Amino acid sequence: MIQFRNLRLARGAKVLVDSVSLQIHPGWRVGLTGANGTGKSSLFALLRGLLHQDQGDLEIPAGWQIAHVAQETPALAKPAIEYVLDGDTELREVEAKLAAAEAAQDGAHIGELHARLHEIGGYASRARAAALLDGLGFVGDDPERPVSDFSGGWRMRLNLAQALMCRSDLLLLDEPTNHLDLDAVLWLEQWLRDYRGTLLLISHDREFLDACITHIAHIEQQRLTLYTGGYSDFERQRAERLAQQQAMFEKQQREVAHIENYIRRFRAQATKARQAQSRIKALERMERIAAAHIDTPFAFTFREGPAAPDPLLQIEDGAVAYGNRTVLDRVRLTLRPGERVGLLGRNGAGKSTLIKLLAGELQLAAGSRSEGKGLAIGYFAQHQLETLRADESPLQHMIRLDPRAREQELRDYLGGFDFRGDDVGGTSTPATTPCGPFSGGEKSRLALALMIWQRPNLMLLDEPTNHLDLEMRHALTLALQDYEGGMVLVSHDRALLRATCDRFLLVDDGRIQPFDGDLDDYRDWLATRRAQAAEAAKCPDREADKAARKADRAQSAAERQARLAARRPLVKEIDQIEKKLAGWQGEKKLLDARLSDPSLYAGGDSAQLQTLLKRQAELAGWIDAAELRWLEISEALEAMPAD
């Protein structure tokens, strides 16, 4: 198990966690939660041995294999599937040794290495890697393409696949869903439920946490508290604990006020001085209970926009093509004020393409697109984070966006996104700090703030929750629920989709059609499509896995027959020796008893005595030789693998 004993961890002068004592048992799946900057990633670094605690002890079983998702992916020329296979380090070591043994024609070592390869599932490893890539959205010939061909988001998926490929005892995942779409999230969710090792997961997706984890470890006020159950269970338990803490705090405050009032009244009176001093000492010894703190740093709403036209936007018989390939065809879509539309569809189906078309970033290859008079579009996508000016602060961005607005009004507005004054405490970001070194979450918050300030009456949101923590996601959900304009949303965050969308459109096979169902129905639809695709393609990965397992069984049978063939003559010989030994030892025992009889020596028959002594010596020699051979054969049999 993983054991924390009175552990303290700090980065510089800032203490992240203090006095942590808890156990994480094998097979537990633990979600690590807490506000940004409280030390979640630092705890991962501690578990990986990249940091050392300032106090206390951390114990991890010495033989555990720890897997994590690399944050950088070099532009390698090797195929994607080979990069994923690198995640199984022992597999690669055995393969390298096997190549060396084959070059040296070392038959015995080759046999040993093939046996180890079988034990670790090496013959099916390529099929396993292909299945991981398929689940994470790689299609067609993607597994054979060089790593350098993929964009940053897809390389992060390769890093995730490489971590999952590792046959780990402890798996550390830090925001694994950030670069995934909904179908990949659903696949990963199932994979993690089947994972046999110990999982530590940092995620800001509440439904993903609920589906994958058995415990929550929450960092708050430099404490790491373990809760049993999913994220929803944690929220309920934490609310109950905070309510109890607040009640105890208020009770203690009343007690403190009563004692202080007594001290003020009577400490100057000689008759009451002793009692007053006693109460002063009691007050000093009292362990103070902190007030429960549950305030969120985020609080914003959508400003009232201009009058919205009806319809907002229409597309008739639209088509979008990249080169000679038509991505979307015969698109008919009308968006009206107040509509909240969620887009569903498999990876690569064209959801982001449709959003770009609605935003006017793509031109139609056919058909027409018409905007209502007064349409004001707010468009959010991850690539827009790159348009932020690295040398400008959030406040400077706002002033450039709206130079006529009062600075204090802009500061107040940015405060709702946790960009506050010049000198702020806690984990909030000053509004005057250049945004170049901002984290992904801070940049996303700033991009959302800039979009919302422009008062759109149609919002197009493509994965707006990437990098946002749970509190910001909750604030965004509440704001979107109160938003009165039209909205089209692509997101892998099912809690956001469920809370803000009134209807869903399915993007599939180049067409857009209403989806008659909820997200649970969509999950079932995805499972059906996967099964159909596997059947239509005769599931090459599964066939490869089946063939590999068949080859494994055949090789195992051949190896077992070879071992039996080698053992059989030795077993037969040892049986024969044991039978002979039994006869020789019985005869020698009788002979020893006869030779120990004094009357044999008194009779004077020296010829008979010599015959008996000679036979005794023969038996002793045969027995010694047989026992030595029996030991040699036994050692040889013990050295052979048994079935």
For residues 258 and 198, membership in a common domain is answered with: no
Q: Residue 452, exposed/middle/buried by CB under 10 A (0-12, 13-18, 19+)?
A: buried
- Tell me which residue range forms the domain holding 148: 79-166
Q: Tell me the residue ranges of DSSP E strands in 295-364.
A: 313-322, 325-335, 340-344
Report pLDDT digits (tens) over 113-122: 888 988 988 8
- Per the listing, tokens 């450039």 go with 400
For residues 161 and 100, membership in a common domain is answered with: yes
For residues 318 and 341, membership in a common domain is answered with: yes
Report pLDDT digits (tens) over 556-571: 666 777 777 777 788 8
Packed helices 407-415 and 394-401: angle between N→C axes, nearest 10 degrees: 130
The percent of residues in the chain predicted with pLDDT above 90, rounded, is 40
- Domain with residue 394: its CATH number is 3.40.50.300
Q: What is the pLDDT of residue 208?
A: 93
Tokens of 54: 């300032």
For residues 349 and 439, membership in a common domain is answered with: yes
Residue type at position 245: Q
For residues 149 and 129, membership in a common domain is answered with: yes
Q: What is the pLDDT of residue 425?
A: 42
Please state the length of the chain: 643
Specify which of 414-423, 517-526, 596-605 reaches the highest per-range mean pLDDT: 517-526
Backbone angles phi and psi of 425, in degrees to 5: -95, -175
Which residues pair with residue 458 across a beta bridge? 377, 486
Position 392 in a domain: yes
In the structure, what pLDDT confidence band is assigned to residue 267 with cuts at 50, 70 and 90?
A: low
Asked if residues 9 and 40 have their Cβ atoms less than 8 Å apart, the reply is no
* Cα(420)–Cα(432) distance, integer angstroms: 8
For residues 460 and 384, membership in a common domain is answered with: yes
Report pLDDT digits (tens) over 423-437: 444 456 788 888 888
For residues 317 and 400, membership in a common domain is answered with: yes
In angstroms, the Cα distances linking 48 to 58, 219, 261, 614 are 11, 19, 53, 74
For residues 464 and 333, membership in a common domain is answered with: yes
In the structure, what pLDDT confidence band is assigned to residue 460 with cuts at 50, 70 and 90?
A: very high
Q: Residue 266 contacts by C-beta under 8 Å, 6 or more apart in sequence?
A: 272, 273, 275, 276
Which is higher by pLDDT, 437 or 294?
A: 437
Domain final position from 166, 201, 217: 166
Q: Which stretch of DSSP H or E encloses residue 67?
A: strand 66-68
What value does the mean pLDDT of the chain take? 85
Report pLDDT digits (tens) over 75-87: 889 999 999 999 9
* Cα(417)–Cα(441) distance, integer angstroms: 11
- Tell if the pTM clears 0.75, that is, is over it: no
Domain final position from 536, 551, 580: 536
- Domain with residue 609: its CATH number is 1.10.287
Which of 410, 444, 450, 375 has the alpha carbon at shortest distance from 36? 444
Position 505 in a domain: yes
* Cα(458)–Cα(306) distance, integer angstroms: 11
* Cα(386)–Cα(65) distance, integer angstroms: 37
Position 551 in a domain: no
Name the maximum alpha-carbon separation found in the chain: 140
Label residue 349 left, alpha or beta by phi (over 0 means left) and psi (-120 to 50 means alpha).
alpha
Q: What is the pLDDT of residue 427?
A: 53
In the structure, what pLDDT confidence band is assigned to residue 290 with cuts at 50, 70 and 90?
A: low
Number of structural domains found in the chain? 5
For residues 27 and 42, membership in a common domain is answered with: yes
Position 206 in a domain: yes
Tokens of 446: 């700033």
Point out the least confidently predicted range of 65-74, 172-181, 232-241, 620-629: 232-241
Point out the least confidently predicted range of 253-257, 395-399, 551-555: 551-555
Q: Are strands 313-322 and 325-335 parallel, antiparallel or unpaired?
A: antiparallel
Report pLDDT digits (tens) over 469-512: 888 888 888 889 889 899 999 999 999 999 999 999 999 988 99
What's the rounded mean pLDDT across residues 188-204? 93
Report pLDDT digits (tens) over 232-263: 888 888 777 767 766 777 777 787 787 788 77
For residues 463 and 523, membership in a common domain is answered with: yes
What's the rounded mean pLDDT across residues 305-325? 87
In angstroms, the Cα distances linking 234 to 21, 30, 55, 468 are 19, 12, 28, 20
The percent of residues in the chain predicted with pLDDT above 70, rounded, is 90
Position 298 in a domain: no
Which residues pair with residue 512 across a beta bridge? 507
For residues 364 and 490, membership in a common domain is answered with: yes
For residues 501 and 483, membership in a common domain is answered with: yes
Position 555 in a domain: no
Report pLDDT digits (tens) over 597-612: 777 777 667 777 788 8
What's the rounded mean pLDDT across residues 300-308? 80
Asked if residues 128 and 165 have their Cβ atoms less than 8 Å apart, the reply is yes
Give a three-class secondary structure readout of 30-65: EEEEECCCCCHHHHHHHHCCCCCCCEEEEECCCCCC
Q: What is the pLDDT of residue 548?
A: 66
**551, pLDDT greater than 80:** no
Q: Which stretch of DSSP H or E encloses residue 604?
A: none
DSSP state, residue 307: P
Q: What is the pLDDT of residue 243?
A: 72
What number of CA atoms fall less than 13 Å from residue 240's CA on the CB side? Answer: 6
Q: Which stretch of DSSP H or E encloses residue 419?
A: strand 419-420
Position 209 in a domain: yes
Position 50 in a domain: yes
